[in-house]
Amino acid sequence: MARWKAIVAYDGTDFSGWQVQPHKRTVQAEVEKGLTRLHKGEKKKVVASGRTDAGVHARGQVIHFDSALQIPGSRWPSAFASVLPSDIQVQAAERVSDDFHARFDATAKEYRYFIRIGRMRDLFLRNYVHHVYANDIDHGAMQRALRALEGRHDFSAFCASQTHVQDKVRELTTVTYTQTGEYEGYFRFYGEGFLYNMVRIIVGTAIDIGLHRLAVADMERILHSRDRRQAAQTVPGQGLYLWSVEYERRS
């Protein structure tokens, strides 16, 4: 028996998120079903770095699983391809020590959130970016506002109110917005850990600043209020990508 770490990409459009739920199509359920097929019916489980919600995509989700199959790392992607649906892709796999844990050993994650602005949405991007219905947006104001968030803060204001986590202090190393076209851009979040819906509430607040519904200084004011009701609405899942997960190299 060996433990494997694998990088998994998925198109979240047709999934009710990562985690197994009764009567729902989820990524975890499909990956476990595929892995079970590769093991000729022997029930297999996988552990991910964390959940993703309905509609949210992953470029670089990381999972671990145990297997007695004699498959070299370079062959796992094609083995998985033979049993997975077309909206999940295992991109790489490597053997890791038996105590490696995809969730507990993760040291940092990067999320990206893509937006597009205009009076008419781009049909072909409807499941892959968040469309902001407006004539224009102030890209610079969003960039400036995000600076208040870098560093170690209590992010209670940007955390879904139903969360039961006590400690809402997190450190975000990078929070940036990059304009990629006159009407498009993406947010990048890099940090050791994230609260539930944190990225999507921050992005919603930044967009309100870009639309001049809020001022640049309001981002800092809202952060310090620690009051979820001060921040803007949670933006939808389809613009969000779990971009990568990092693990400290153990020597």
CB of 160 to a copy of itself, least distance (A): 26
Q: Is 53 a catalytic residue?
A: yes
Q: Which one, 80 or 155, has the nearer CB to a copy of itself?
A: 80
- Does 82 sit near a copy of itself (CB under 8 A)? no
- Single out the residue of 142, 160, 130 nearest to residue 237, CA to CA: 130
- Does 70 sit near a copy of itself (CB under 8 A)? no
Phi, psi at residue 143, to the nearest 5°?
Answer: -60, -50
Kindly name the residue from 11, 14, 53, 122 that is annotated as catalytic.
Answer: 53
Report the residue from 2, 3, 11, 39 that binds a copy of itself according to the rule CB under 8 A: 11
- Does 91 sit near a copy of itself (CB under 8 A)? yes
Sign of the Cα torsion 248, 244, 19, 162 reads positive
DSSP classification of residue 231: S
- Does 138 sit near a copy of itself (CB under 8 A)? no
CB of 130 to a copy of itself, least distance (A): 14
- Sequence-distant (6+) residues with CB within 8 A of 185 are 114, 115, 139, 142, 177, 178, 179
C-alpha pair distances (Å), 100 with each of 7, 43, 192 = 14, 20, 18
Phi, psi at residue 178, to the nearest 5°?
Answer: -115, 120
Report the residue from 23, 41, 70, 86 that binds a copy of itself according to the rule CB under 8 A: 86
- Does 83 sit near a copy of itself (CB under 8 A)? no
Residues 113-132 that bind a copy of itself (CB under 8 A): 120-121, 123-124, 126, 128
Contact set with a copy of itself (CB under 8 A): 9-11, 57, 77, 86-89, 91, 120-121, 123-124, 126, 128
Which residues are annotated as catalytic?
53
